[in-house]
Amino acid sequence: MSDGSLEAILWDLDGVIADTGDYHYRAWGDIFKEKGATFTREDFMRHFGQRHDTIIKFALGDDIPPDEFERITERKQREYRRLVTGHIKPLPGAVELIKSLNDHHIKTAIASSAPLENIEIIIRGLGIEECFQAIACGTEVTEGKPSPQIFLLAAEKLGVEPGNCVVIEDAIAGVTAAKEAGMKCIAVTNSHPISSLKKADLIVSTLGAVDIGDLPVLFQ
């Protein structure tokens, strides 16, 4: 049972640790354009952080044969990795906070809807692959955010109670998932305005504004 104290930080990846949104948008846009579908930046931002099956069904409908779905997913992933490799930029304050958590022996995990290969490209590119004690990725759960599955899996992998976790998110669906998991949540306004993230326990404009000493206060 949770004792209501900080044990672990669970990190979303895209839009929180690294600025990758434009590469995801370009990869999706090229594919959907070939399929004759319109996919605006507003559509992308509304679904950013959600699983690929949710995004594909939104853009192309529900009647996609399984083999075509797999082809679309694999092609999007290849195109995204091609675009992002060599262009990985950390978002302000993220890497510094991750390293500070490590210095203070606070458990950390990635909890991202992305597949493992995409996650590894980012954390290796930023030189922080040794900073995480667990990774929970989208292919390991049956439901994407706003379902809490991905965060509950990350907590299980770390061996901590959900109530002792803080999630760091930028997406509306991710904040909802964190709260559904019974976790505290810090939302950073890298992708959405404050008005869309009000379910979070703390909202910041940059992780540079978050000090490690601020985290236990969330449980008071």
Note whether 106 and 209 are same-domain residues: yes
Contact 50, 145 (CB under 8 A): yes
At 1 the pLDDT is: 54
Give yes or no: residues 15 and 53 share one domain.
Answer: no
Catalytic hit among 14, 19, 43, 170: 14
pLDDT of residue 2: 61
- What pTM, to 2 d.p., does this model score? 0.85
User: Is 170 found in the same domain as 105?
Assistant: yes
Question: Considering 84, 107, 123, which residue would you say is the last residue of a domain?
Answer: 84
Q: Report the chain's mean pLDDT, rounded to a whole number.
A: 93
> CA 123 to CA 35: how far, in whole Å?
32
Among the listed residues 25, 148, 8, the one whose alpha carbon sits nearest the alpha carbon of residue 76: 25
Q: What is the CA radius of gyration of the chain?
A: 17
Average pLDDT estimate for 181-191:
95
Peptide bond into 66 cis (omega under 30): no
The domain that contains 59 carries what CATH number?
Answer: 1.10.150.240
Percent of the chain past pLDDT 70, that is, above it, reads 98
188 - beta bridge partners? 204
Residue 180 is part of which domain span? 8-19+89-219
Q: Are residues 58 and 41 in the same domain?
A: yes
Task: State the CB neighbour count (10 A cutoff) for residue 34.
Answer: 10
Residue ending a domain, choose from 84, 104, 138:
84
> In this model, does residue 164 exceed pLDDT 60?
yes
**Contact, 20 vs 94, CB < 8 A?**
no
Same structural domain, 78 and 114: no
Instruction: Please tell me which residue in 12, 19, 43, 170 is annotated as part of the active site.
Output: 12
The per-residue pLDDT for range 58-77, each reduced to its tens digit, is 999 988 888 888 899 999 98
The tens digit of pLDDT for each residue in 41-56 reads 999 988 877 778 889 9
DSSP classification of residue 162? G
12 an active-site residue?
Answer: yes
**Which of 51, 84, 117 represents a domain boundary (last residue)?**
84
Q: Does one domain contain both 133 and 172? A: yes
